[in-house]
Amino acid sequence: MINLNRLAMFVAVVECGSFTAAADTLGTTKAVVSFNVRQLEEELSVALLTRSTRRLALTEAGERFFQDCAQLLRQAEMAVEQVRSGHSTFSGSLRVTASVDYGNLVVAPALAEFARLHPALRVSYQASSAHADLIAERLDVAIRVGPLEDSRHRANPIGHFKLAIVASSSLLMATGTPASLQAMAALPWLANRSGQTTQWSLLDPEGKPHTIRVRNVAHADTASALLAFVLAGCGVAALPDWLLDEHIKSGRLHILMPEYALPGTEVFAVYPDTRHVSAKVRGFIDHLRDSVARGS
């Protein structure tokens, strides 16, 4: 019978990129990890990794085996969680990913609080602008902002936030505060690289939609980078409310045409569609939803 510990060591080597890093993660020695991976290859009569002085790489068989092992280990962890689900504390590991800005400002603090409440739980947080492969990277939960594209996973709503069109005091001193949608559209705009939209739809106080076309003068791939451009007076941008409070209160930024509203943006917790959802995943999703509700 294949030793599950050897499977876990093999997966750790792939995820960490080296035997040394895997040993550090697992709390053992490089020699132990190397021996067990070598034994696993001998038992399977298949080379899983190609080794050189500079890097490790998966063989074709190793790539397929890694995907299966990662899923098998996840299922084993979930089986343990199901047995322990009646207890008030969570244990094992919880791996969470989120977009850079929303993750660092909203998700990471909530995850830190959740970890403090459950000290037996080992948490891991990964901020990324790209959508991670939950199965391949053995992630438990992804917090995603905006419309969902991946139907292979389950999704629970976490909350929503609003976008506001903002400009700096210095820009408005140079251009004047726009008194109409057309005047606002004529200002230099900044765009999120993932959207690069040149058209915005806003609702007036009666709920009637109005569309404006804008000219983008710069792009950035995160909301915090766009905020830096706005603060420098480079242009106006539509930014999330959770990023703006401090700057609005200080007077460095101003909301333009506040009587017109942009559509809200939904936030979801996405997790693998498995037969049993672990108690720690359900617990964290509930905790994050409560944290977002308290902050709204």
Structure confidence by residue, pLDDT tens digits, 173-204: 999 999 999 999 999 999 987 556 788 999 99
pTM here is 0.67
CA distance 290 to 249: 25
Given 29, 57, 84, the domain boundary residue is 84
φ/ψ of 273, rounded to 5, equals -85, 85
Mark whether 67 and 100 lie in a shared domain. Answer: no
Q: Which letter does DSSP use for residue 103 in this model?
A: I
Does one domain contain both 150 and 285? Answer: yes
Q: Do 49 and 65 belong to one domain? A: yes
Locate all alpha helices (DSSP H) within 19-138, ordered by sequence: 19-26, 30-44, 60-84, 100-102, 108-117
CA distance 189 to 202: 16
State pLDDT tens for residues 44-83.
999 999 876 667 889 999 999 998 898 888 878 777 766 6
- Spatial separation of the C-alpha atoms in residues 242 and 183, rounded to whole Å: 26
Of 55, 84, 113, which one is at a domain's C-terminal end? 84
State the total domains in the chain. 3
Q: Which domain holds residue 70?
A: 1-84
Dihedral sign for Cα 149, 265, 179, 190, please.
Answer: negative
| Same domain flag for 14 and 99 | no
Q: In CATH, what number is assigned to the domain containing residue 2?
A: 1.10.10.10
